[in-house]
Structures are given as C-alpha cells and as structure tokens.
Amino acid sequence: MTALKNDRFLRALLKQPVDVTPVWMMRQAGRYLPEYRASRAKAGDFMSLCMNPEFACEVTLQPLDRYPQLDAAILFSDILTIPDAMGQGLYFETGEGPRFKKVVSTMADIEALPIPDPHKDLGYVMDAVSTIRRELNGRVPLIGFSGSPWTLATYMVEGGSSKDYRKTKTMLYDNPQALHLLLDKLAQSVTSYLNGQIMAGAQAVQIFDSWGGALSAAAYQEFSLAYMRKIVSGLIREHEGRKVPVILFTKGGGLWLESIADTGADALGLDWTCDIGSARERVGSKVALQGNMDPTVLYAKPEVIRTEVERILASYGKGSGHVFNLGHGITPEVNPEHAGAFLRAVHELSAQYHA
C-alpha cells in the first residue's frame, strides 16, 4: 500500500500531536456540490451511485479535489445497505427519503432475517472501498461507516423515516425480546460489514447512531449503546501495521458522553448542542472528540463562519484529540464557497492550539 501523505486525522483520533486540527465534513460528497449533482444525474439515482464502485469513487473524491484542506475521505454509501442486504428492499421516493418494501413487525419476521455476508451480499461496498483507497493513493485516510443497530432497526420496523418511532418504540416496550433479537442480528451484521470495509482498505470507521437521541436515558443504554459496545469489541483495531480508530456518533447523545466513552471507542462525534470544552472536561482523557459546528452556520457570511470556528477551537483548547467537523451532515443548500471558507478557517486558526 502507498504510504499515507496526510495522517493528521488518524493522529488526532489517537490524541497524537498534530500541526493543525484536522477537518472533514459529514456528507461532504453531497448535493451542495454541482459536480456531485452532475454525477448523480449521470448515474440515474442515489442507489445507482452507491452500488457502482466507479461512481462511488468519483463522488467520494470530488470534495477532496475541490478542497485541499480536507484531511479525510469518507466512503460514499448509504447507512441502509445492511437492511437492504437482509432482503428488506430499499428504495427511495423523490422527496420522501428512504423506504423499505418489507417491514419487520413480528418475532417471526426477525427470526427469518439473514445475517448478510459482506463479500457476497455487500460486495459492491467492499469494491467501492478498495477502489477509493486505490484512487486516493495515500492523499488522506479513508473512513468506512455503518448505521448503528438501533438506527437501522427504526427504518426496518417503521418502513422508512419516522417522526416519533412509534412502531419501533412500541416493540421496545411491548416486545423487547423481539427488538433485542433484531438488534443482535444487526450488531453481528454491522461488525462483519465494518471488518470487511477495514480489510478492503478503510483506515478508520464511524458508526452513525442518528436516532439514538430519540430514546430515554435508560432505553438508550439497553437498546442502542449496548449493541454499539458489542460492535466495538468485535472490530479489527489494527491493520496494515496501524491502529484503526473507531468513532461513535449518537446525535442528541450529549447527556450520555461518559457512557459512550466507556465503550472502548477511540472518539465520539458531537452534535452542536454540546459545548466541546465541557465535553472534553467530561471525557477528554478517554477519547478524542469530533465536531461540532451547527451546519446552518454555513448559511452565514464567511466572516461569521470564521468566528464560529474560532469559538469552537478556543472551547476545545490546546492539544490534540479534536477532529473538526460539523455537528451533522452538510445540507444541500449550502454555498460551496462557504464550505471552503469553513475548511480554510479550521486550518488557519488552529495552528496556535498545537504550537
């Protein structure tokens, strides 16, 4: 494998010294970029982009070509590839978000679910990872990812997005054994899926627990965090002679940082409701932190974006252990020049915190 030319991102995740704070953006290969929209038009639709390794590679590299400040690439894919590989029939309706043809309702539905083989059933993702890794040619590290078991379960039980997760929570409270079996199958699936990505070339992995924050404190521990802990303990943590850091991101999980830090993960993702300085005081000796600018700040003037970047850097303070990011994915309406101003500000303003 080609030597890594920029390893700031991996070093910061392990709290090793860096020259400037590394930065990337969740959903950085996305609709705010005209070149992404052109690729997507060419591919036909979103899932065709994901399922074709050449297209997935093309859009993964687009933000890196536009923004030399980006310190990591992230696999272009969807969080719902695993339920799709379980036979649920993922599809997208315009303006409606993801949907599944089959819905999981009963213990029998769950017992019948297979655990996908990453190479056989999700080979297109493994191919995308190895293609991107080859094309990156050591520029920056490649992040692999998956949805968390709880987050995947909500889509499988609701049949799509949801406002209040009524069906999933009714299963949680009325039929917890069924939900536990589903989550256990998902945890096994996510573990082998992420290990497949690591073997194919992913140099760090992130688990997106997008809807963990919808749970009560007690239910979060039992139905989301426990399964992420299980995954973390089953992951390949060293590959190609280097540590493979694991990042857990529960959106809305700011109250539970101490217990998320106890899972054995290397880093926690933070949304923008957490003050990153307080978060560091609470868990900073155990884990690195990733985040956490409100993505809507990117709608503001570049000088305001710069002020917000400075505020977050100052709040984190001196030393390594911070990967700058947004607190959630970048939105389609953002002006790409504002994203550029954000990325430049992180590198320019952070050097003083690493002197």
* Residues with catalytic roles: 27, 31, 40, 78, 155
How many residues bind a second copy (CB under 8 A)? The answer is 36
- The answer to whether residue 262 forms part of the interface with a second copy (CB under 8 A) is no
Positive or negative, the Cα torsion across 310, 312, 316, 320?
Answer: negative
> Nearer Cβ to a second copy, position 193 or 272?
272
- Binding a second copy (rule: CB under 8 A), the pick from 24, 67, 211, 272 is 272
Least CB distance from residue 294 to a second copy, whole Å? 5
Residue type, 135: E
- Binding a second copy (rule: CB under 8 A), the pick from 264, 300, 317, 340 is 300
Least CB distance from residue 44 to a second copy, whole Å? 27
**End-to-end Cα separation, the chain, in angstroms:** 32
φ, ψ dihedrals at 239, nearest 5°: -155, 145
- The answer to whether residue 308 forms part of the interface with a second copy (CB under 8 A) is yes
- The answer to whether residue 218 forms part of the interface with a second copy (CB under 8 A) is yes
- The answer to whether residue 331 forms part of the interface with a second copy (CB under 8 A) is yes
> Nearer Cβ to a second copy, position 124 or 299?
299
Q: Which of residues 159-178 bind a second copy (CB under 8 A)?
A: 164-166, 169-170, 173-174
- Binding a second copy (rule: CB under 8 A), the pick from 49, 50, 274, 287 is 274
Strand partners, 90: 100
Structure-derived torsion over alpha carbons of residues 50, 53, 55, 60, reported in degrees to the nearest 10: 80
> Nearer Cβ to a second copy, position 112 or 255?
255
- The answer to whether residue 254 forms part of the interface with a second copy (CB under 8 A) is yes
Least CB distance from residue 122 to a second copy, whole Å? 31
Q: Measured between alpha carbons, how far is 25 from 312 in angstroms, rounded to an integer? A: 15
Least CB distance from residue 330 to a second copy, whole Å? 12
- The answer to whether residue 211 forms part of the interface with a second copy (CB under 8 A) is no
Q: Measured between alpha carbons, how far is 130 from 119 in angstroms, rounded to an integer? A: 12
3 state DSSP class of 291: strand
b/e map 133-149, b = 16+ CB within 10 Å: bebbeebbbbbbbbbbb
- Binding a second copy (rule: CB under 8 A), the pick from 14, 273, 340, 348 is 273
Structure tokens at 48: 């065709």
Nearest to 284 by CA among 254, 320, 243: 320
Nearest to 140 by CA among 63, 195, 200, 196: 63
Site stretch for a second copy (CB under 8 A), options 5-13, 99-107, 197-205, 296-304 = 296-304
Pairing of strands 204-209, 142-147: parallel
> Are 219 and 168 contacting, i.e. CB atoms less than 8 angstroms apart?
no
**Residues lying near a second copy in the complex (CB under 8 A):** 164-166, 169-170, 173-174, 213, 215-220, 252, 254-255, 272-275, 278, 293-297, 299-301, 304, 308, 311, 327, 331, 333
